[in-house]
Amino acid sequence: MSSSDEDEIPDLVPAADKVPITIITGFLGAGKTTLLNYVLSEQHGKRIAVIMNEFGDGDSIEKSMSVGSGGEQYEEWLELRNGCLCCSVKDNGVKAIENLMTKKGRFDYILLETTGLADPGPIASIFWIDEELCSDIFLDGIITMVDAKYCLKYLSEKKEDGSINECTRQIALADVIIINKTDLVPVEELNDLRNNIRSINTTAKVMETSHAKTNLDDILDLNAYGDLATNSLESTFKERGYNINDRHSIDKSVTTLTLELEGNVDKEILDKFLQTLLWEKSILNSDDKPIELYRLKGVLSLSHTDIRCVVQAVHELYDSHPTTPWKPEEKRINILVFIGRNLDRDVLLKHFKQCLMDKT
Ligand SMILES: Nc1nc2c(ncn2[C@@H]2O[C@H](COP(=O)(O)OP(=O)(O)OP(=O)(O)O)[C@@H](O)[C@H]2O)c(=O)[nH]1
Ligand SMILES: [Zn+2]
């Protein structure tokens, strides 16, 4: 990537003084607020600022913020300027974070609850493009909570315009998926739901809870977009295997596809490939439908360097950065994981192969 390109895309690698933020998304009533209250009441030694979304979408001009520290809590209201351009462009939650940052030093972690109907993609994307915001905070991960009782129903809902329903999108984007309200469903239903979720997103960590009681180590400090992502990505792939095509799914159209190639990748050709895929959206599958991507993750061996490169994309935004060195005896395996719709293995593999330096 040229240096001018690098100027345009803010770095996602967290610096020591940045505050991590975790986005909590999930369908209406799934248990997001219950999770936040649970986190606030737990002893975790962190001062966590929690931005709740109690009043639904859009027009609320205040957000409640609670900071929990060692079991103690205090709450305040963050005033959101109403009607200004940035509010209509940005999510209110992001505005709340900006206001929150004026109180920097009083907390060391932020949890943001999004509205149940929101597509978390645009909100997550803000942390990639808003340089001012990025200098203070970094996106640690996206948690999606699902309601064990109603999720299958939400997943199967068809949108009139043929687009993917919100529940599926939220699952596609997640780094962690919490299946909540397990107390309300029999074990067979839970198994069915788990399989469906897995068929959409193979790479996310899936947990099951009742009343959102979870181990905080599983949801905070994931660094899902940063340096550590390399190890967790690779071990995730190894643990879960690649072949998900045989699994049953309600909405077959959104799936995870993993490609693996040995060799060294030419970064310029790869950038072009990803731009065509993510920005121009002009790569078609064998049915002539455009391949739609919600999420991309990858570990790459680039030519001319012995340092691994991690690629991440949320919707149209993508970023790559060097991580850890390849060991001399290690096979240089490039992995790309696509989560989206109309994915076509042969087409994507053909493009991916063209990125290899030493094609045979
Ligand atoms: N039975 C049962 N009820 C739960 C569980 N978790 C949460 N609830 C209840 O479900 C309801 C909705 O929970 P919330 O935490 O408000 O859900 P939310 O996702 O924040 O809801 P919205 O903000 O409206 O989208 C509340 O009445 C909770 O007490 C659970 O594991 N089991
Ligand atoms: Zn809520």
Which residues partner with 67 through β-bridges? Answer: 49, 74
Q: How many CB atoms lie under 10 A from the CB of residue 120?
A: 27
Q: How confident is the model at residue 359 (pLDDT cuts 50, 70, 90)?
A: low
Tell me the pTM.
0.74
Nearest alpha carbon to residue 261 among 308, 300, 230: 300
- Which tens digits make up the pLDDT trace of 118-129? 677 777 776 666
Structure letter (DSSP) for residue 184: G
52 lines ligand 1 (CB under 6 A): no
- Which tens digits make up the pLDDT trace of 151-187? 998 888 888 788 888 899 899 989 999 999 999 999 9
32 lines ligand 1 (CB under 6 A): yes
Residues 35 and 43: their CA atoms lie apart, in Å, by 14
Residues 77 and 66: their CA atoms lie apart, in Å, by 8
**Considering every ligand atom, which ligand is closest to the CA of 32?**
1
Residues 25 and 143: their CA atoms lie apart, in Å, by 6
Structure letter (DSSP) for residue 242: S
Q: Which residue type is seen at 243?
A: N
Residues 146 and 180: their CA atoms lie apart, in Å, by 6
Instruction: Check pLDDT > 80 for residue 348.
Output: yes
Q: Which residue type is seen at 125?
A: S
ipTM of the complex: 0.98
What is the CA(116)–ligand 2 centre distance, in A?
8
60 lines ligand 1 (CB under 6 A): no
134: which 2 tokens?
Answer: 């990025």
